[in-house]
Structure 1
Amino acid sequence: MISSIVRNWCEAEGEHGIFLSKLMQKYFLAVEGFVGPKSVEHMAAYHFIQEVEKLVLSHELNDILLSIDIFNKYRDRMGASNGQFVAEIGRVFNYKRFTAKTSKWNAYALCRKSKARICPYCNHAYAFTLQSENGDFRPTLDHFYFKDEYPHLALTLYNLVPSCASCNSSLKGEVDFYAEPHLNPLVDAENIQFYLAAGDDPSVLVDAIQSKSAEVQVKAKAIRNCSKTESSLNTFVINERYDMLSLEAIDFYLAKMQYEEAVSNTQFDFEFSEIISLRFDRSKHSQYLLGKMFADIYDSFSG
């Protein structure tokens, strides 16, 4: 992930918690009130959901990971019947029903509470929600821990990352982020930094930028050594995607350079607005497409 959205769901926590809690309570009552023999799979699902009830409502990563450990133990104990056990869990935490807009609290209602405007995985696609008389759209909700593999997390709030379809479907697909840890936008701090390069000689970079040379490349690296960051860079092909955005990077660099030259030129008695000149506010970089790349280029002038 490029952007951290740690507080993204703070305005949705209350309503979603009530929704998810009621869903589980309704299931408990249905099982307890059922007259007749209950299958081993149904009873295992019942006891499992009771055991992880507080964990799936939690906003803490450690609780979510603990719920996965418990789920895996139940699934292993079920042996040949584990498929039916998993299917029962999936019926309880029914994500497809949540996306159907048939109830007051659904995926659209949740996404309207999202603070993120941009996909946190790539930072170059919008991820906001619009509902109008002429049509609706919302970001895809990536299940950071894959819902088919861990169905009890299909509706867990802090397992839902508002993202673009390219990142969610085309790139991530069914990669298991539990087995192969990646940066989590809802939990982790930002750890990817962008920079410009022109071959192996740093001394030619400015000349290459000014001539808009095809040799200028946008590159991304981990700020701190971290296997999760390397996995994220690879899964979401960040370097490959941003290499196609060198024109935008060069234009921003030149705009910043020209602004710095203008304000330092004592021949002019003008007051310049950096935000207007650059059409970019460094303090609000997360609200812009490519905002993290622009912020890192901006910071390079003071570094």
Structure 2
Amino acid sequence: MIQLPTNGPLDEQTHLSTLKAVTLDKIYQEFSVLRRSEMMPSPTVPTLASLVEKYLKSEIDSLLIGKPSDLRIHIENFARFFSGFHQYTKINPTKKQKSIFDADYAALSNAIRNAFDYDAFSGEKDGWGAYALVKNHRLRICPYCNLNHVNYHSDDPVVTVKKPRRKRGVPKPPVVKKFTMRPPLDHFYPRGHYPYLGISLYNLIPSCHQCNSGVKHDDDPFQKQVKTPFEFPPNSIQFSLENAQDFAIPVTGSAPGTPIASVKIKVIGINGAQSHVDFFELVDRYGWYSPEIQDLYNSILSYWAVGPTLGSCLIAGDMIRGFSESDREKRALGICISHIYTELINLPRSN
């Protein structure tokens, strides 16, 4: 919904230089365990695991900093070269699903997941890790929905939480606490299905909890041809009112607002973005915000009641929306409010 700029060369090189050597070492360690198991009886036997290990090592740079199109190529390569394993991870069954659970495939998947160690990346707060990546994106609002904030706090000043006390005339140092918080980093292509994309730079998207945990879960955008935020066409989701004519602004004076129940927000994706609208359940989710659109309409009525000159001036638009047009992607519900505001003020005036 919100197009993200591609990560700069500095971020890509930092990501690669920080994670390449340690990931290659983890690949060696994890597959050494498999080599000692029945799955890889001999290093000279080209078993599935040995072939996968070779692929991961040879493609390590692309797996870590490849663009979204590169990541899709890796998914397609696994489907082509390791089809049985690929089909298994698409289902990603648990041990309780005995009829389809396969211990060898599960061991291989876990080895890859452990090698491309998102848990370590996620917990890193001081060096290059999840906190630094989120900070570099500089997002305020979830790029999937434009509804919720993605709060980031890590560089906040240290706060004294308890007054220092004296002991034998020597002041004790203050007890301090540094507040840290970041939004979830969503694996756009789910790690459960594609464990080799666990720390791919262009697969990690700062998002709100609703999109990450409440809507997306482990659903696979690859299967539904949903574009990543890095590839999202600008202005490809349009908002309007299904019953816009009911909101025509009176020629003079103010008028009671249309009842909230009649506010019906229409969400349409263009340029291939309808799959995004459907995948993230945006029609139902935006329906929750009918009261905000009612407030917008009432604000327009109030300004027009003062006079059409004030009601139509540019600064009035900023005041009614609550933000400037250029900041709409940085405000919760900003794109929707901006589109519907424009629609309302351009409706024919009613008597």
TM tier, smaller: 0.7 to 0.9
- AA at the equivalent of 1:291: G
Q: Which residue of 84, 95, 107 maps to 2:107?
A: 84
Deviation of the 1:89 alpha carbon = 1.2
Q: How many pairs align?
A: 293
What SS class does the counterpart of residue 169 from structure 1 fall into?
helix
- Alignment TM-score, normalising by the size of structure 2: 0.71
Query: Partner of 2:341 in structure 1?
Result: 298
Query: Partner of 1:283 in structure 2?
Result: 326
Deviates more, 1:204-213 or 1:10-19: 204-213
Query: Partner of 2:214 in structure 1?
Result: 170
**Paired-residue identity, %:** 24
Query: Partner of 1:73 in structure 2?
Result: 80
Deviation of the 1:263 alpha carbon = 7.5
The Cα offsets for residues 196-255 of structure 1, whole Å up to 9 and x where unpaired, read as 233xxx53232699523121222211234x3xx333323322111111111212322443
Q: Does 1:23 align with 2:22?
A: yes
- AA at the equivalent of 1:71: F
Q: Does 1:62 align with 2:66?
A: no
Deviation of the 1:191 alpha carbon = 1.8
Please give the alpha-carbon distance, in whole angstroms, between the structure 2 residues aligned to 1:117 and 1:102: 19
- Alignment TM-score, normalising by the size of structure 1: 0.81
The Cα offsets for residues 262-297 of structure 1, whole Å up to 9 and x where unpaired, read as 67438x9x9956434542110121111111102212
Please give the residue correspondences for 1:215-226 in structure 2 after superposition, counting only pairs within 5 Å: 215-224=262-271, 226=272
Please give the alpha-carbon distance, in whole angstroms, between the structure 1 residues aligned to 2:211 and 2:30: 38
Query: Partner of 2:275 in structure 1?
Result: 231
Alpha-carbon contact 1:99-1:107 (below 8 Å) kept: yes
Q: Which residue of 233, 236, 245 maps to 1:191?
A: 236
Query: Partner of 2:291 in structure 1?
Result: 247
Deviates more, 1:121-130 or 1:147-156: 121-130
User: Structure 1: where are the runs of 5+ without partners?
Assistant: none
Deviation of the 1:33 alpha carbon = 10
Q: Which residue of 167, 173, 191 maps to 1:147?
A: 191
Query: Partner of 2:171 in structure 1?
Result: none
Query: Partner of 2:51 in structure 1?
Result: 44
What SS class does the counterpart of residue 195 from structure 1 fall into?
strand
Deviation of the 1:193 alpha carbon = 0.9
Deviation of the 1:129 alpha carbon = 1.2
Please give the alpha-carbon distance, in whole angstroms, between the structure 2 residues aligned to 1:122 and 1:187: 15
Alpha-carbon contact 2:239-2:340 (below 8 Å) kept: yes
Alpha-carbon contact 1:255-1:277 (below 8 Å) kept: yes
RMSD: 3.5
